[in-house]
Amino acid sequence: MSIQIGQPLPDVEVTVIEDGAPARRQSTASLFAHARVVLFAVPGAFTPTCSDHHLPGYVQHYRTFREHGIEVVGMAVNDAYVMQAWAAVQQVPAGLKLLADGNASFTSALGLQFDGTAYGMGLRARRFALYAEDGVVRQLYVEAPGEFRVSTAEAMLQALGVGARTTAG
């Protein structure tokens, strides 16, 4: 069963990629505590929709989220090296964190995994976005298979009542 609105995010250790610094291990409890955070997940770094639209939308609107006191964290079931390379290629701005969930531990604890073995991808994260305050899920948007609508940066800004700007962050 997937995580529900009103539930705390599970406490799992993940690898955090941020600001070009070496990857570091951190518990999700400490990462999401005392913060307002949008967490979005993609099925895989360097995959077409993820690289062409999903992460770039959050990069483009990062400043708007931050101006409203909202942190942005993206994640994928990829290893830290892939996530570091993806952050560099995508020119992820300072402060926008990426989580490498290489073993799908956090993804599975959220109940938001899918089996992509038929496509040579193994276990992956479903495409989703959620808003959490102090580690508790307040809003959750999970995409139907093959869709990309409710987890976009623009959709999250709208859901949060913030509104999207078109300037890069």
Tell me the CB-side half-sphere exposure of residue 167, using CA atoms within 13 A: 6
The active-site residue out of 12, 14, 42, 50 is 50
Distance CA 39, CA 138 (A): 11
- CA 58 vs. chain centroid, Å, equals 9
Which amino acid type is present at position 151? S
- For 155, other C-beta atoms within 10 Å of its C-beta total 16
Tell me the CB-side half-sphere exposure of residue 43, using CA atoms within 13 A: 23
How close are the terminal C-alpha atoms of the chain, in Å?
A: 35
Active-site residue flag, 122:
no
Residues catalogued as catalytic: 50
